[in-house]
Amino acid sequence: MSAMRCGFVAVVGRPNVGKSTLINAVMGTKISIVTAKPQTTRHRILAVHTTDEAQIVFVDTPGLHRKAAKAMNRMMNRTAASALADADLVLFVTEAGRWTDEDGDVLRRLQATSAPVVAVLNKIDLVRPREKLLEAIAAIAERHTFADILPLSAKKHDNLDTVLTLIPKYLPESPQLFPDDMRTDRSVEFQAAEVIREKLTLSLHQEVPYGLTVQIESFETEDGRTTIGAIIWVERDSQKGIVVGKGGSVLKRVGKAARLELKAQLGRPVHLELWVKVKDNWADSEKDLLRLGYESP
């Protein structure tokens, strides 16, 4: 019988290449929230995949991005960089057939890492005609000597099995770090806050989603029912009106969508109370960020 392998796999790339979608697809459950907007992932989130032969600890990271104008963006970049330092293997996620300057920035960071790097060409379902996929594989092979190149579609679950087959051979022989039944290191309170933020991001447009965060005030379960109280923090008074909506319409829509998803996740009825409050420029204050649950590696 082969020895148990266990290690950390950092999933990195520029914003919006499908890092969280990939992890959720491989895990078969929602670990990280997903929207089409960049910077949806703001935290380092562990997703633990355990089999008889291996325990793969995926590290979902914020997208590494150039414009780090605010303290939150700089903190997110540091969070992603620190995940690289601890990794046994790096999955460098890009879009098949599309290369940007930000992809180049991430690759330059990876050249300093000692861990093997696997290039993941995501969104192959969008490559037309399929012959262009061979060109995309050849193009990325010329950019760096990768340990492997893996084309897949996280959204369509195409070639996902290969990810779980490939990774263990790069991990060290080691006993498990986490219990068999553990799927993530994040609490249900954290996940509730993220679900609410996801629904807000999907409902709001332009810059508002980047200026808000969600803080859980209370989380209580009694008589088979969970009551959650959450504050939605925005940076300016003008954003508060947008988040609430005319006659409270936006907040009601967001609250309903979040409540239904949390009910499904928790397996019991959920009562959700939301309040919108203003904290001037919280996203540019390290002190406020730490108070709101953001990590500073």
| pLDDT value for 207 | 77
User: 1 falls in which pLDDT band (50, 70, 90)?
Assistant: low
- The arithmetic mean of pLDDT across residues 219-245, rounded, is 96
Q: Which residue reads 């979608």 in tokens?
A: 21
Name 267's Cβ contacts closer than 8 Å, sequence gap at least 6.
Answer: none
Question: Can you give the CATH number for the domain in which 230 is found?
Answer: 3.30.300.20
Assess whether 258 and 201 both reside in one domain: yes
Do residues 10 and 154 share a domain?
yes
Is 109 in the same domain as 247?
no
138: pLDDT strictly greater than 80? yes
In a domain, 181, yes or no: no
221 shares its domain with 115? no
Structure confidence by residue, pLDDT tens digits, 12-26 = 999 899 999 999 999
CA separation (Å) from 37 to 18, 74, 282? 11, 18, 20
Greater model confidence, 36 or 232: 232
DSSP states along 152-191:
-BTTTTBTHHHHHHHGGGGSPB---SS-TT--BSS-HHHH
Same domain, yes or no: 242 and 154: no
Q: What average pLDDT score do residues 232-240 get?
A: 96
**Cα–Cα dist 155/196, whole Å:** 22
Give me the half-sphere count of Cα atoms (radius 13 Å) on the Cβ side of residue 77.
15
If asked whether residues 138 and 208 sit together in one domain, one would say no
Q: What are 193-226's pLDDT values in tens digits?
A: 999 999 999 999 877 888 999 999 999 999 999 9
pLDDT, tens only, 241-282 = 999 999 999 999 999 999 999 999 999 999 999 999 999 999
Has residue 30 been placed in a domain?
Answer: yes
| Residue 198 maps to a domain | yes
**Domain assignment of residue 175, yes or no:** no
Which of 107, 135, 170 corresponds to the end of one domain? 170
Give 230's strand partners. Answer: 216, 274
Do 57 and 151 share a structural domain? Answer: yes
Model pLDDT for residues 149-196, shown as the tens digit of each residue: 999 999 999 999 999 999 999 999 999 999 999 999 999 999 999 999
Is 165 exposed, middle or buried (CB count within 10 Å of its CB: 0-12, 13-18, 19+)?
Answer: exposed
Which range of residues forms the domain containing residue 267? 188-291
| The pair of three-digit structure tokens given for residue 56, joined into one six-digit string | 């793969």
DSSP strand E in 238-293: where? 270-278
Residue 252 falls within a domain, yes or no? yes
More confident residue, 127 or 67: 127
Last residue of a domain, one of 114, 141, 170: 170
Question: Does one domain contain both 155 and 226?
Answer: no
Cα distances (Å, whole numbers) of residue 214 to 248, 250, 263: 18, 15, 18
Residue 176 lies in a domain: no
Same domain for 87 and 26: yes
Residue that is last in its domain, among 140, 170, 200: 170
3-state secondary structure of 65: coil
The string of pLDDT tens digits covering residues 35-75 is: 988 889 999 999 999 999 999 999 999 988 777 778 999 99
Closest CA to 46 of 58, 55, 62, 34: 58
For the chain, what is the mean pLDDT? 94
| CATH code for the domain of 50 | 3.40.50.300
Do 137 and 211 have their domain in common?
Answer: no
Domain count, the chain: 2
Count of CB atoms situated within 10 Å of the CB of 149: 16
Please check whether residue 229 lies inside any domain of the structure: yes
Prediction pTM value? 0.94
pLDDT at 130: 81
* Residue at 178 is within a domain: no
Those residues with Cβ within 8 angstroms of residue 128's Cβ, 6 or more apart along the chain or in another chain: none
Written as six digits, the tokens of 58 are 């995926």
Regarding whether 25 and 148 lie in a shared domain, the answer is yes
Long-range CB contacts (within 8 A, 24+) of 243-252: 243/200, 243/204, 243/208, 243/212, 243/276, 244/276, 250/203, 250/204, 251/276
pLDDT at 237: 94
Residues 91 and 38 in one domain: yes
